[in-house]
A = this chain, B = another copy of it.
Amino acid sequence: MALEKLGTEIRREQIVEAALSLIAAQGVRRLSVAALARRVGLVPSALYRHFKSKQEILDAAVQLVQRRGLDNLKEVCASTPNALERLKLLLMRVIKMIRELQAMPRIVFSEGVSADHPERKRQAYVILTGFLSAIEGIMREGQERGEVRTDLDAKTLAVMFWGMLPPVVILWHMSDGAFDVTRQAERSWELFSEAIRAR
């Protein structure tokens, strides 16, 4: 018996937060409606009052993570016009986010969320390429402003910038948080920024 009845807005939030929390602890694969309900303090069937299906819950969790990612991007671009500064800030923001919102890496890398359904996969691809386009935009601006080398392909650079994250994320997870993501990110950034800085 739930302690009280709550409106659907509040419950939906609780459910999504519970999902993120459980995903962080156990991964997407082991996320069950039963565990979710327990976490929120309801019975499993109650969740269907607020979401049509388990997949809808997952979708909502993905969107939340995505929104936070985009927020980071916006804040970073608003804080400085310098391309390299932006990129560094963004990198550090994302690293921070990985540490705090631990479900994020699991969601991003999980095939349970997107990769086994054509439409969702396409959507995820659109989101990812959108992110890469934004990075690419920063690179181009940097090139126009004389901050970034112009003899390098901005798109390639965007992908490489992104490439600083997965190894860090994976090692962090596999080592149960023992791997020093911040240091690795900083060092990677140093080398990368030195390599792409205009001369």
Contact = CB atoms under 8 A, between A and B. Distances in A.
A187 interface: yes
A191 B160 contact: yes
A45 interface: no
Given A163-B166, A167-B166, A152 B115 contact: no
A84 interface: no
A188 interface: yes
A2 to B, nearest CB: 29
Interface stretch (A11-19, A24-32, A52-60, A86-94): A24-32
Contact of A170 (B30, B106, B128): B128
A28 to B, nearest CB: 7
A175 interface: yes
A110 interface: yes
Interface string A67-90: 000000000000000000000000
B115 A153 contact: no
B124 A174 contact: yes
Which residue, A124, A162, A170, A196, has most C-beta atoms of chain B within 10 A?
A170
B167 A115 contact: no
Contact-size category for A:
35 or more
A40 interface: no
A187 B160 CA distance: 10
Contacts of A111: 27-29, 106, 109-110, 112
B156 A184 contact: yes
A195 B115 CA distance: 34
Interface in A150-192: 152-153, 156-157, 159-160, 162-168, 170-171, 173-175, 184, 187-188, 191-192
Interface of A: 26-30, 106, 109-112, 115-116, 121, 124-125, 128, 152-153, 156-157, 159-160, 162-168, 170-171, 173-175, 184, 187-188, 191-192, 194-196
